[in-house]
A and B are shown apart, each in its own frame.
Chain A
Amino acid sequence: MRGRWPHILFVAAISAAVIAVYFSGSSRWIQLVTTVLWFAAIGAAWNIQAGFAGVLGLGNTFFLAVGAYSSIYLYNRFGLSPWLGMWVGAAISVAIGCAVAYVCLRAGLRGITYVFATFASSQILLFWLLDQRWLGGAGGIRLEQIDHDPWAFRFGSDRAYLVIAAILLACTLLFMASIRDRKWGLFMRAVRENEKSAAMSGISVLDIQVLAVACSALFTSIAGTFYAQFQMSVSPTALLSLHMALNTMIFTVVGGIGFVFGPVVGAFVLTAVSEIALHLSGSGTDFAAVRLLIYGACIIAIALFLPSGLVSLAGRGRRQ
């Protein structure tokens, strides 16, 4: 199978699954799939910078936290709708993200040193937030209970969040698919493959890398706003842990870094595997530990045997 068909089939299969869950009415399944779609979305946002432009940052939780905190704070303090507040958060995220990326990349940080620098930025935000009383300190901020108010980004049913998460993911993927073979996408991939030859052919490497981080920050920040509304609370330690930072990366790499659908495949497969493991393991076992064990084993297996990710199994083995 070549050309468009595998992609169309894949989108159809995922959509069918989401629609089936939507009508199943089981709130556990709806919440589970919403979470999976959300993880796929933040993975896809990371994929723009890491998969397309080759900028391996581990600081995207920074944007997640900024998006979550700014919308929730603006709503609680000024009554500003999160639908507007999320753009404030996105603007802050993009501004800070560009500044940090510019400073680090210009200083020549690449690979593991860039990973450390971006992770440091997220940890500075973590410890700063822990000290800020007006942002709830270590306890974070909770949203007050409202039943149904679409303007306040609050809905009476879980289904609405499922739909919004699906739209968020679809927008991120559409954005990636649309730039992939156009000017900026091609520039990003050229920079990823070889910075020197990209620079030789007239591409401004630093600009392209910062642009990729900016796109990544935008989508991650909006996903952060969604997280705050879906969970109805934010806290520094939940959003800015090493665990969360690694999650933005893991689903993408397991699925296939650089492939548009990589994060979606990774998120669905890893969740499916751990769900099956939960059903197979007997009662009395520590579910959380079993889930972690399966996750870890899958990640090790991918790193050892299939470094290009599950999508590369589809046969063409070519990074998109």
Chain B
Amino acid sequence: MRRLEPAAITGVMSREVANFRSYWKSTTFSSVLEPVIYLVAFGLGLGATIVDRVDGLEYVEFVGTGMVATAVIFSSALPAMFGSFVKERFQRTYDAILAAPVDVEELVTAEILWISIRAGVYGCFPLIVSMFFGLDPSPGMLLVPLFCFITAFGFAGFGVATAASVSKIDQFSYVTTLVVTPLFLVAGTFFPIDELPEGLQAAANLNPLHHLVELVRHAAFGFELTDLLRVAALLVFALALWRLAVRLMEKRLID
């Protein structure tokens, strides 16, 4: 592995920051408002009418903490997929950057890093919103941005790897329908995993988002020893998808 130069990485990230200034309002607006809508619909609607308590938690608390994972996947996998594709194919931004002293590995790392930092922040919004609906703050919650960052790193890597693999932008529909939607629905956000049939439970344990959901709930209501394993699993996921993204983008960008 060649050396990753910090100057190259911060240079690429400075481009993202400059661009972010032109669209931060819209992304931040939806990142804040979406959990509010979900909490009102599920938390109050479902919680007040059908479900009372889940796993010993108020349904609003259950969904509010679970929503963090939803915010993370939607602010990492999707922007990475579409963003990389557009920058690579339509705007030729990557071509411009690679003509400067920046290698594909540094480019991809910077892209993933920036998205993960952003998702680390956006992931906290559902938690903050939930506090207005009655969730009590706790010191463990200070670790939530870090958990979100690690998970987002993996999903951003997934998005970049996907962008490097598809030939047309419409093919993203397959990925969102077959991968992103199931991952976010079967993560334990809206209903507990242990009510599912055994096969699906096993599958859910392979879902990084499920581990994030558990970590966030435990951050709010008390950690368990097995949480260390969950963090380790998320780190492996992040590392693996980062390397895959670098490899596939190198193949795509260098003839």
Task: Say if A and B assemble together.
Answer: no
**A residues at B contact (CB < 8 Å):** none
B contact set with A: CB distance below 8 Å: none
